[in-house]
């Protein structure tokens, strides 16, 4: 493979001038693992979801993820500072936070809890880019730009449960950073264009994706 002429795996138009981290580098607290995954990418695509990634992280750190070991490290290292510096981000987050009556899946009232309504349009942009990056890594070829990636945010206890059961049916990803990001995947009927992906961020945030022609 001629590296100097390699195309960006996301847009397939531009020459890859840099490498993009999959998942985004900012998702890893420092010291970052030495085995981060990168894919060839143009400068435009490299920056295209930067703000969405920041919002993704800032939003989900208000969920269970923020209380995890890695989440706490992220809070200490940068999320606090991010809020301090970025009033726009603060405004978006405060709108998406709700202090609401909360019930367990079995219907037991557990009082008022903080819940967060993430901006899913923007979160899905981040997740789609991750899926395209993982696809390239696992299948050694880009997933066609015109082809669709359908993404579902698994935000209920029952969908978590389905996810946990499904994860054993999938092939474990060739890379995993426990507590930060793990994934499983498989091709549907041996057809790589139709593939399913289950991603877990900070052991508590699940996204499911299905690629199709
Ligand atoms: Zn590009």
Q: Report how far ligand 1's centroid is from the alpha carbon of 168 (Å).
A: 33
Question: Residues with Cβ < 8 Å from 57, sequence gap 6 or more?
Answer: 26, 27, 74, 79, 82
Distances (CA, A) of 139 to 56, 143, 161: 26, 9, 28
Q: Report how far ligand 1's centroid is from the alpha carbon of 148 (Å).
A: 17
Q: Report how far ligand 1's centroid is from the alpha carbon of 44 (Å).
A: 6
Q: What is the mean pLDDT of residues 173-186?
A: 96
Q: Report how far ligand 1's centroid is from the alpha carbon of 50 (Å).
A: 14
Q: Give the per-residue pLDDT at 156.
A: 72
- What's the CA gap between 34 and 72, in Å, rounded? 20
Q: Give the per-residue pLDDT at 110.
A: 73
Q: Report how far ligand 1's centroid is from the alpha carbon of 6 (Å).
A: 11
Q: Report how far ligand 1's centroid is from the alpha carbon of 97 (Å).
A: 34
- Residue 133: Cβ within 10 Å count: 23
pTM of the full structure: 0.89
Q: Report how far ligand 1's centroid is from the alpha carbon of 143 (Å).
A: 13
Q: Report how far ligand 1's centroid is from the alpha carbon of 35 (Å).
A: 23
Task: Summarize pLDDT for 92-140 with one digit per residue, the tens.
Answer: 888 888 777 777 767 778 777 777 788 999 999 999 999 999 999 999 9
Q: Report how far ligand 1's centroid is from the alpha carbon of 213 (Å).
A: 20
Q: Average model confidence (pLDDT) for the chain?
A: 89
Q: Does residue 2 carry a pLDDT above 70?
A: no
Q: Give the per-residue pLDDT at 131.
A: 98
Nearest alpha carbon to residue 29 among 80, 64, 87, 91: 80
Q: Residue 85, SS3?
A: helix
Residue 169: what are its φ and ψ, rounded to 5°? Answer: -85, -15
Q: Report how far ligand 1's centroid is from the alpha carbon of 39 (Å).
A: 11
Task: Summarize pLDDT for 30-52 with one digit per residue, the tens.
Answer: 999 999 999 999 999 999 999 99
Q: Does residue 4 carry a pLDDT above 60?
A: no
Give the pLDDT band (50/70/90) at residue 13.
very high
Please say whether the dihedral angle defined by the alpha carbons of residues 120, 123, 128 and 130, taken in this order, is positive or negative: negative
Q: Report how far ligand 1's centroid is from the alpha carbon of 15 (Å).
A: 8
Q: Report how far ligand 1's centroid is from the alpha carbon of 58 (Å).
A: 25
Q: Report how far ligand 1's centroid is from the alpha carbon of 48 (Å).
A: 9
Q: Which sequence spans correspond to the domains of the chain?
A: 3-212
Q: Report how far ligand 1's centroid is from the alpha carbon of 18 (Å).
A: 10
């Amino acid at each position: 493979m001629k590296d100097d002429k390699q195309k960006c795996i996301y847009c397939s138009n531009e020459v890859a001038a840099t490498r993009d981290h999959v998942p985004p580098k900012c998702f890893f607290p420092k010291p970052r693992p030495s085995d981060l995954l990168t894919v060839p990418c143009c400068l435009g695509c490299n920056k295209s979801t930067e703000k969405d990634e920041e919002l993704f992280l800032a939003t989900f750190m208000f969920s269970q993820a923020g209380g995890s070991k890695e989440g706490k490290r992220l809070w200490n290292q940068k999320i606090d500072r991010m809020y301090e510096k970025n009033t726009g981000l603060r405004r978006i987050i405060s709108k998406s936070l709700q202090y609401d009556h909360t019930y367990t899946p079995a219907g037991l009232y557990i009082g008022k809890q903080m819940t967060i309504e993430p901006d899913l349009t923007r979160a899905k942009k981040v997740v789609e880019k991750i899926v395209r990056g993982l696809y390239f890594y696992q299948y050694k070829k880009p997933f066609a730009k015109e082809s669709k990636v359908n993404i579902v945010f698994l935000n209920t206890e029952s969908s978590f449960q389905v996810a946990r059961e499904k994860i054993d049916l999938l092939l474990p990803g060739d890379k995993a950073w426990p507590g930060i990001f793990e994934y499983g995947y498989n091709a549907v009927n041996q057809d790589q264009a139709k593939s399913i992906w289950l991603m877990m961020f900070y052991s508590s945030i699940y996204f499911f994706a299905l690629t199709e022609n």
